[in-house]
Amino acid sequence: VEDGEFKGAKIFDGVIMDRNSRAIGLRILGEGNDLQDISAFNADLAYEPRWSDQGRGIPRIAVSSLTWFDLQDIHDFTKAGVKRASNVGILIKNAEGEATNDANVITADEILDNGQEPIDGGSLSDRKVAVEELGQGGETYYLNSSEGEEMVPFHFKNPHPNTEAFIERAQRGAISSVGWFAELLDLKSTGRAPSRILTDLANQTIWARQRTGYRRWKRAVGYAIAKGMKIGQVPKNNDGFDPYLWEPGLPKPLQVDAGNDAQADRESLKLGTTTEAILAQKNHGLHRNEIKRIRAQEIRDNIALAKSIAEESGLPLERCLELIEQRSPNPIAQQQQKPAAKEPAK
């Protein structure tokens, strides 16, 4: 870098580095070919480096791009071969390597006896076809070819099992470039426990990729909120960091058994190891106001149900509420009140 804040620093592919080859800035090219050097504190490359001092790397998915192109070519060529094979019935091998002038006799003439004249009135060639009808259905064809000629049915053997094995091998290598396993494409070959391990490993790669965008989300949206409050487009909130106490919504992770995962989420919520916001984001990203509305409606429904049960059974309202909604992992043990001891009669 010749001048500016990073004068004397090394630059490689737009990444400004210090003497230890660590990224300290980026050179941005504007629309009018104007160059602007930005500090690394205010910018972040959107890729997953393999080393801490890697200035500009290749995304993991790009490593397998050529493999996916090759698989696409194999698919197209195999599909074209299947279409050609479905249009071929019989292969004829002869010395000329081409069809004769009367090649249509095979399909035009039905000869029940070798001494019978062709039904189309033409001349009979050396190539003859006799058809025998069976009593229970079906036909038998007798073909007579000239000397040195062979008629064989066409057998198309592609895709061969070796070809399928190569395609599976290529897919396995391409998918592994992003940290996934080929068994995720077909879980029938795995059991229940291995399926959970595979999905957990896949979720770890997804979370690792989401972490690369977490800081960008927080800083970009935080800046937008501050700018919006400053110019009046967003209602101003003077309660310190309250406008920035939010978490980005994430999509639902891969899972094998939705029922068990939902039960685990409820237990984690009881223990305090997760939050309602995280669970809401996993379930279609419900807004906190919507969650409050749903909870208030559930409370009203529980109170109404407890009142009806109390009227029918004679139990106290508090006991009916405890039986309806259990907020602890273990049942609440009610201490039975013992009747007061009666004084002995005098």
pLDDT confidence of residue 112: 47
Cα dist from 219 to 25, 43, 126, 214, 244, whole Å: 17, 10, 86, 9, 10
Question: What average pLDDT does the structure give for the chain?
Answer: 74
Helix (H, G, I), strand (E, B) or coil at 333: coil
Q: Do 49 and 99 belong together in one domain?
A: no
The residue-averaged pLDDT of 308-312 equals 88
Does residue 112 fall inside a structural domain? yes
On the question of pLDDT at 109 being above 50, the answer is no
For the entire predicted model, the pTM comes to 0.49
**Residue in the block written with tokens 């980005």:** 248
Better pLDDT: 261 or 103: 261
259 falls within a domain: no
DSSP for residue 277: H
Would you say residue 205 lies in a domain? Answer: no
Compute the distance between CA of residue 124 and CA of residue 132 in angstroms, rounded to an integer.
Answer: 19
For residues 35 and 37, what is the distance between their CA atoms, to the nearest angstrom? 7
How does DSSP classify residue 52?
Answer: T
Task: For residue 97, tell me if it sits in a domain.
Answer: yes
Domain ranges, residue 41: 10-57
Q: What is the 3-state secondary structure (H, E, C) of 116-133?
A: CCCCCCCCCCCCEEEEEE
Which of 104, 133, 153 represents a domain boundary (last residue)?
153
Distance of CA 142 to the CA centre of its chain: 55
Give the mean model confidence (pLDDT) for residues 69-78: 90
pLDDT in tens, 137-176: 555 555 566 666 666 666 777 788 888 889 888 888 888 8
Identify whether 35 is part of a domain.
yes
Domain end among 153, 176, 197: 153
My answer on whether 93 and 147 are in the same domain is yes
Q: What is the DSSP string of 164-181?
A: HHHHHHHHHHHHHTTT--
Reported as half-sphere exposure (CB side, CA atoms, 13 A), residue 267 has a value of: 8
Tell me the pairing of strands 150-153 and 90-93: antiparallel
Cβ-contact 335, 273 below 8 angstroms? no
Classify residue 47: in a domain, yes or no. yes
Q: What is the pLDDT of residue 99?
A: 52
**Of 313, 277, 305, 270, residue with least CA distance to 292:** 277
Residue 253 predicted with pLDDT over 50 = yes
How many CB atoms are located within 10 Å of the residue 175 CB? 19
- Over range 95-111, report the average pLDDT: 47
Residues contacting 61, CB < 8 A, separation 6+:
177, 178
pLDDT at 110: 45
Report the distance separating Cα 320 and Cα 15, nearest Å: 67
Phi, psi torsion values for 28, nearest 5 degrees: -100, 130
Q: At 73, is the pLDDT very low, low, confident or very high (cuts 50, 70, 90)?
A: very high
Contact partners, residue 239, CB within 8 Å, separation at least 6: none
> Alpha-carbon distance 79 to 39, whole Å?
52
Query: CA-CA distance, 109 to 125, in Å (whole number)?
Result: 10
Q: Any idea which of 120-129, 153-162, 193-202, 222-231 has the lowest mean pLDDT?
A: 120-129
In a domain, 99, yes or no: yes
Rg (CA), the chain: 39
Dig out the tokens for 132 from the structure.
């025998």
141 domain residue, yes or no: yes
Q: At what angle do helices 317-324 and 288-313 cross, to 10 degrees?
A: 130
In the predicted structure, residue 54 carries a pLDDT above the cut 60: yes
> Residue 43 corresponds to which amino acid?
A
Per-residue pLDDT tens over the stretch 255-266:
777 778 888 888
The total of structural domains in the chain comes to: 3
